[in-house]
Amino acid sequence: MAEINFKYGSLIRTASLYGKWDATLDEFVRNSSTNADLTIHISIFFAQINPARKTGVYGDSDDTPTHPSKRKIQSWKPGEFQTFTQRLVRQAQNFWNGMYWLQTPDNYKELDWPDNELTHRCNIYSKFELELAATQKDAHYTIAVVRAQDGENFRSNSRLYSQKDIESEQMIPHSTAKFWTHFHEVGHLLGLGHVGHDGHQCACQQLTAGLWCYKGRDA
């Protein structure tokens, strides 16, 4: 994992393609059973895509100049786009808020508690705030959203969604496990990669190790 340094309790990270966000570190909540709180804030502007006529085509995630992948799309119905974006933001925030912990390095003592005795080693409980931006200039990310034609297989990515992305999918035949595209893609906005790619480990191994060394927060 990349090292993140905070000064005066806040950080603005905007240097990379993914993992752009504002964050606040609250160390004053620490006590004998509570870690420090990190709140990550991401603002998204969703660009509504409509075809020139009632129906049209739009390139999905597989679309390249050498291998075009144009998919059929249709116009959004009145109020449908607003309902989609509000539901996506609400559900993705609920999913990622409090989902993981960050463990401080073994040689890092600045969050140990109390300040005069250092009997407990604090780590970081990660909260998440996701909001709709009114304009592109106010957003960390701009994401285009199409309304794919019924029955069309439109492949999304972290910067391109379709209206289907807030619905669950069964990725493994005969399995009860469900896959939610918008949870997956918002994870990329947080800076998380695919498991097994570029050295990324399973998120449950990589991000949930930040419990108290001496006393668990939820114990």
Tell me whether residue 20 is in a domain: yes
Q: Indicate the residue type of 171.
A: M
Instruction: List the structure tokens of 41.
Output: 């804030």
Tell me whether residue 216 is in a domain: no
Tell me whether residue 215 is in a domain: no
pLDDT at 216: 32
Distance CA 36, CA 115 (A): 13
Burial class (CB in 10 A: 0-12, 13-18, 19+), 210: buried
Distance CA 80, CA 77 (A): 5
For 92, phi and psi rounded to 5 degrees?
-65, -40
Tell me whether residue 152 is in a domain: yes
Tell me whether residue 4 is in a domain: no
- Residues near 131 by Cβ (< 8 Å), separated by ≥ 6? 41, 42, 43, 44, 89
The answer to whether the peptide bond before residue 114 is cis (omega within 30 degrees of 0) is yes
Tell me whether residue 214 is in a domain: no
pLDDT at 213: 34
- Give the range of the structural domain holding residue 115, as residue numbers without chain letter: 10-206
* pTM value > 0.85: no
Distance CA 117, CA 214 (A): 14
Q: What is the pLDDT of residues 60-84, one digit of tens each?
A: 999 999 999 999 999 999 999 999 9
Confidence of residue 198 (pLDDT cuts 50, 70, 90): low
Tell me whether residue 213 is in a domain: no
Count of domains observed in the chain: 1
pLDDT at 115: 80
Q: What is the pLDDT of residues 26-73, one digit of tens each?
A: 988 988 888 899 999 999 999 999 999 999 999 999 999 999 999 999
Q: What proportion of the chain, given as a percentage, has pLDDT over 90?
A: 46
